[in-house]
Amino acid sequence: MSDSDIIQIRDLKNSFGSQVVHDGVNLDVKRGEILGLVGGSGTGKSVLLRSIIGLQQPVAGSIKVLGHEMIGKDPLTMRMVSRHWGVLFQESALFSTLNITENVKVPLREYYPELGDSLLDQIAGYKIAMTDLPEDVGIKFNSELSGGMRKRAGLARALALDPDLLFLDEPTSGLDPVSADAIDALILGLRKMLGLTVFMITHDLDSLYNICDRVAVLADKKVLAVDTVENLTKLDHPWIKRYFNGPRGRAAAESFEARKTGA
């Protein structure tokens, strides 16, 4: 495993009964990059994420995170490694019975039970502020927040343990364009400020163009290609051509070029 790789996946196979979802997935995620993962419905994007973080047991293959083999590892090793990542799940997955401050404190309580409530409140407040949420959000509940605010609150919880690696599952899904742009800008800012590596599942073409260093394409049960968006648009594969060169893809490309030129 190269020192520049924070995740290395080799010959990964996932199946559910007779249904094979992945068959020979290979992927390297470089330290410090924002990697986008795209693929059609049912290609197993979330299954791949769940495999990396230990929520799905693959049939075969190897997954190394921070140099540690994840498949078949004992719970103590998994706990040690998972301390170094944070996850923003789809729909944020906030606990509805806890306010936002208490949600952010959940991983802190798990790993640092010796810390008192006063210090935990301070840390949680700092994480909430890092995601550009108003201070009074801490006392509110998930049901009282807008979609964009829920995403930010989930991101605050994902940042609770000062991770090296951030997993984002559809971070802009369901948001209006302005809110989605704000989340993209926040991710870029956090990467720069904290030196994060970001593994991001998304179907948002604007996000792929604007913040991803590379994009991995999951299709035909494998990772077909990993490259910049500009290079992927030149590949001769039916799904890739439809995805990146269709009307939405062309609109995202034009918007990206306009931003670069200041038009």
For residue range 16-57, what is the model confidence (pLDDT) as tens digits? Answer: 989 999 999 999 999 999 999 999 888 999 999 999 999 999
Mean pLDDT of 93-107: 94
Binned at pLDDT 50, 70 and 90, residue 13 comes out as: very high
The whole model's pTM is what? 0.92
Confidence tier at 4 by pLDDT (50, 70, 90) = confident
Rounded (to 5) percent helix, strand, coil in the chain? 45, 25, 30
Q: Options 3.40.50.880, 1.10.10.10, 3.40.30.10, 3.40.50.300; which CATH number does 1-84+196-209+216-262 get?
A: 3.40.50.300
Q: DSSP state, 98?
A: S
Q: What is the mean pLDDT of the chain?
A: 92
Please determine, for residue 256, whether its predicted confidence score (pLDDT) is greater than 90: no
Burial 22-50 (b: 16+ CB within 10 A, else e): bbebebbbebebbbbbbbeeebbbbbbbb
Q: Which residues have a Cβ under 8 Å from the Cβ of 81 and sit 6 or more positions away?
A: 65, 66, 68, 70, 73
Query: What integer is the mean pLDDT of 115-138?
Result: 94
Question: Comparing 85-94, 173-182, 254-263, which segment has the lowest mean pLDDT?
Answer: 254-263
CB 232 within 8 A of CB 244: yes
Would you give the DSSP letter of residue 115?
S
Instruction: Kindly report, residue by residue over 193-224, the tens digit of the pLDDT.
Output: 999 999 999 999 999 999 999 999 999 999 99
